[in-house]
Every structure is written in structure tokens, then in C-alpha cells.
């Protein structure tokens, strides 16, 4: 009987232990289940935060890219204006030098004239004959040639520019890039104007990243022009002009090297010594463009910088007044050829 009670006690104890183990296992399962759900929720929250952070980073990258484009645009404007001011300063110095020479020459001639008149008067008095006072020779004069140049076309405004030029019988030069209006390149050539190379992309960061990048871009725009016109031109203009400083941001010394390099390859580059200032913004006032074009340098070779883009409607509107002003001054017009005396800026990189 005692053995039977002892056996029953062990059985009950085993049952109790088993129940405790089941309770512990159940509690552990509940614990891990709850924690698993919390961990999953936390993981989803972290993933959501990371996704939002990625979206915000992309937004900042897009904004930064936009700001970089703005910086390049304004750098281009500053370069062109700085080049124009530097050119105007040089031309003003030349003009002052020419004026000083003319004053000196005039004084010399007046002195010679007075001496000759005195000698003639003395001789006439001695012979009883009135003397004719010699007149000084007229000062030599030279005519200026205006080379109207249009950068960054072709554009929707190209046909309008060509029609105005034709109506005045004026020839001009178009420094072209690769646009959606390349079919107008053939019109430029067929109507007797000079087509010249500017850039394929006009993206400073791309073009001026290395010497090789510049020459590759130049070859690409040369091929575009040839494919559309059959013309292989050797007349070029650097984006931003040879005096640009924006290229310093991408490749030190590149302008010093390629200004020499292009000439060794048979190209000739042309900057400008008179700016219409139409690059200072979109739709610059017609009066500003006309008055800027009236600031003619002393040089007989006057290369005028203008632009041919869809945003330059006021440039088109100002063109007749510009032509009429130059005509009223007695200036002639011509398109740039390989024989045109080059106008070069001072290289700053």
C-alpha cells in the first residue's frame, strides 16, 4: 500500500513538472511572438524612414544639380561681360593712343603749314606777288567693316534673322551648336552667310573637362555642320570666348593649350570686340542692345557678338536698328572668312 502511494506521488509530481514546463514554453512562445511582431513593426518603420531619407537625398541632389546649372549660366554671362569690358578697355586705350597721335600729327602739320606760309609770304613780298597760303593735307581715313556674328543657333529665330539680313543685303556669320533646328544650317549657307563652329553641347563642364574632351566636341559639331551643309569650316569660336574663366573650374590651363592647338590644326578662332549685351538676360531691352552695339572700337575690324536662340526675340527686333545705325556711319558689312583679321581676347586660363 505504501509503494502504491509512493508511485502515485511520483506520477503527480511528474504531471506538475510537465505542466510547469508547458506553462514556461507557452509563456516563451507568447513572449517571442509579441517581440517578433514588435521587431517586424520596428523594421518596417526603419525601412520607411530610410526610404523617406533616400527620397529627400534625391530631392537635394536634384536641387544641387539645378543650382550648378544656374552657376554655369551666370558664370557664362559674367565671362562674356568681362570679356566685353576687357575688350572695351583695350579699345579705349587704343583710341586714346590714336587720338594722341592725331593731335601730335596735327600740331606738326600746323607748324609746317605756318612755316611754309611765312616763307611763301616773304617770297611773295619780295617779288610783289600775293602768296597763296598752302592748305594742310587731309587726314587719312579708313572705313570700318562690321562683322555681325550670332552664337548658339540655329533656333526658331534663325529664319527671321536671315530675312532681315537679306532685306538689307547684309552678310553675317553664325557660330552654331547642335540643336533641334539643324535643318536651318543649310539655309544659312544657301543664303550666302558663313557657318562656323561653336560647340556640340555648349556644356562647359563637359567641353572643358580636358583637352581631349574639347577636341571631341569640336569634331562632333564639325561633323553635324558637314552632314547638314556639305561644308567643312575652319572658323570657330570658343564657348565663353577664349578669355573665359569658367574653364578653370574643370581643367587648369586648358584655354592656353587649346587656343594654340586649334591653330596648329588649321582652325582660326574669333572672339569679339563689340558686344550687344543680349547675353545678360532673356529679352534684354531693344534700346540696351542698340546702344551697346553703338560702342564701336577704334579698330577697323569690328566683330559684334549677338545670339540666335528662341529666347532672344529682342535681339531680332533690334537688328534692323543696329544695321541702319552702322549704315548711317558709312560702315560696310561682311561675313567672316579665313582672310578676316582675327580678334583675340587675352587668355585667362
Cell of 328: 548711317
Q: How many CA within 13 A on the CB side of residue 172?
A: 27
Three-class DSSP labels, 11-57: HHHHHHHHHHHHHHHHHHHHHHHHHHHHHHHHHHHHHHHHHHHHHHH
Say what the pLDDT of residue 198 is. 98
Cell of 184: 536651318
Domain 145-333 has CATH 3.40.50.720: no
Provide mean pLDDT across the span 319-324. 98
How many other CB atoms sit within 10 Å of the CB of residue 329?
A: 12
How many residues are given for the chain?
349
Provide mean pLDDT across the span 6-13. 69
Say what the pLDDT of residue 116 is. 54
Strand boundaries in the chain, DSSP class E: 145-153, 173-176, 194-197, 235-236, 268-269, 274-275, 301-307, 332-333
How many other CB atoms sit within 10 Å of the CB of residue 325?
A: 16
Domain locations in the chain? 1-36, 145-333
Say what the pLDDT of residue 129 is. 36
Q: In a 10 Å sphere around its CB, with 0-12 CB exposed, 13-18 middle and 19+ buried, how is residue 327 labelled?
A: middle
Q: C-alpha angle 288/294/298, rounded to 5°?
A: 145
Query: Tens of pLDDT along 194-226?
Result: 999 999 999 999 999 999 999 999 999 999 999
Say what the pLDDT of residue 140 is. 32
How many other CB atoms sit within 10 Å of the CB of residue 40?
A: 10
Query: Tens of pLDDT along 126-171?
Result: 444 333 333 333 333 348 999 999 999 999 999 999 999 999 999 9
Residue 51 sits at φ, ψ, to 5 deg, of -65, -45
Residue 250's alpha-carbon distances to 1, 193, 197, in angstroms, are 104, 34, 22
Q: How confident is residue 121, by pLDDT bands cut at 50, 70 and 90?
A: very low
Residue 300 sits at φ, ψ, to 5 deg, of -75, -15
Q: In a 10 Å sphere around its CB, with 0-12 CB exposed, 13-18 middle and 19+ buried, how is residue 252 labelled?
A: exposed
Task: Residue 159: name the closest of 167, 86, 305 by CA.
Answer: 167
Query: Tens of pLDDT along 42-76?
Result: 667 767 777 777 777 777 777 777 767 666 766 67
Q: Which of 14-18, 28-32, 172-176, 223-227 has the lowest mean pLDDT?
A: 28-32
The rounded distance, in Å, linking the Cα atoms of 104 and 111 is 11
Q: How confident is residue 14, by pLDDT bands cut at 50, 70 and 90?
A: confident
Q: At what angle do helices 158-168 and 313-328 cross, to 10 degrees?
A: 20
Whether residue 287 is predicted with pLDDT greater than 60 in this model: the reply is yes
What pairs with residue 18 in β-bridges? Answer: none
Cell of 59: 530631392
What pTM was computed for the model? 0.64
CB 271 within 8 A of CB 303: yes
Is residue 67 helix, strand or coil? helix
Average pLDDT over all residues of the chain? 83
Amino acid at each position: 500500500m505504501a509503494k502504491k502511494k509512493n508511485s502515485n506521488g511520483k506520477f503527480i509530481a511528474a504531471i506538475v513538472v510537465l505542466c510547469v514546463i508547458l506553462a514556461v514554453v507557452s509563456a516563451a512562445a507568447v513572449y517571442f511572438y509579441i517581440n517578433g511582431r514588435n521587431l517586424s513593426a520596428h523594421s518596417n518603420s526603419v525601412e520607411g524612414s530610410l526610404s523617406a531619407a533616400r527620397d529627400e537625398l534625391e530631392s537635394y541632389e536634384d536641387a544641387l544639380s539645378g543650382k550648378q546649372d544656374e552657376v554655369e549660366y551666370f558664370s557664362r554671362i559674367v565671362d562674356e561681360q568681362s570679356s566685353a569690358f576687357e575688350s572695351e578697355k583695350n579699345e579705349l586705350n587704343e583710341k586714346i593712343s590714336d587720338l594722341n597721335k592725331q593731335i601730335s600729327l596735327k600740331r606738326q602739320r600746323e607748324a609746317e603749314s605756318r612755316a611754309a606760309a611765312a616763307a611763301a609770304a616773304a617770297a611773295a613780298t619780295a617779288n610783289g606777288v600775293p602768296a597763296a597760303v598752302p592748305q594742310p593735307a587731309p587726314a587719312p581715313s579708313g572705313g570700318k567693316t562690321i562683322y555681325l556674328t550670332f552664337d548658339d543657333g540655329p533656333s526658331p529665330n534663325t529664319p527671321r534673322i536671315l530675312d532681315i539680313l537679306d532685306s538689307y543685303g547684309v552678310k553675317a556669320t553664325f557660330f552654331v551648336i547642335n540643336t533641334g533646328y539643324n535643318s536651318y544650317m543649310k539655309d544659312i549657307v544657301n543664303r550666302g552667310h558663313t557657318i562656323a563652329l561653336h560647340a556640340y553641347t555648349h556644356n562647359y563642364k563637359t567641353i572643358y573637362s580636358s583637352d581631349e574632351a574639347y577636341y571631341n566636341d569640336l569634331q562632333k559639331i564639325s561633323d553635324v555642320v558637314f552632314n547638314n551643309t556639305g561644308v567643312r569650316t575652319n572658323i570657330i569660336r570658343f564657348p565663353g570666348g577664349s578669355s573665359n574663366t569658367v574653364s578653370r573650374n574643370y581643367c587648369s590651363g586648358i584655354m592656353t593649350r587649346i587656343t594654340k592647338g586649334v591653330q596648329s590644326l588649321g582652325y582660326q578662332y574669333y572672339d569679339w570686340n563689340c558686344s550687344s549685351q543680349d547675353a545678360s538676360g532673356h529679352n534684354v531691352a531693344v534700346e540696351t542692345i542698340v546702344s551697346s552695339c553703338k560702342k564701336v572700337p577704334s579698330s577697323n575690324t569690328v566683330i559684334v557678338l549677338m545670339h540666335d536662340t528662341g529666347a532672344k526675340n529682342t535681339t531680332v527686333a533690334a537688328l534692323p536698328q543696329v544695321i541702319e545705325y552702322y549704315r548711317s556711319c558709312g560702315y560696310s558689312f561682311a561675313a567672316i572668312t579665313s582672310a578676316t583679321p582675327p580678334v583675340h581676347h587675352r587668355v585667362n586660363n
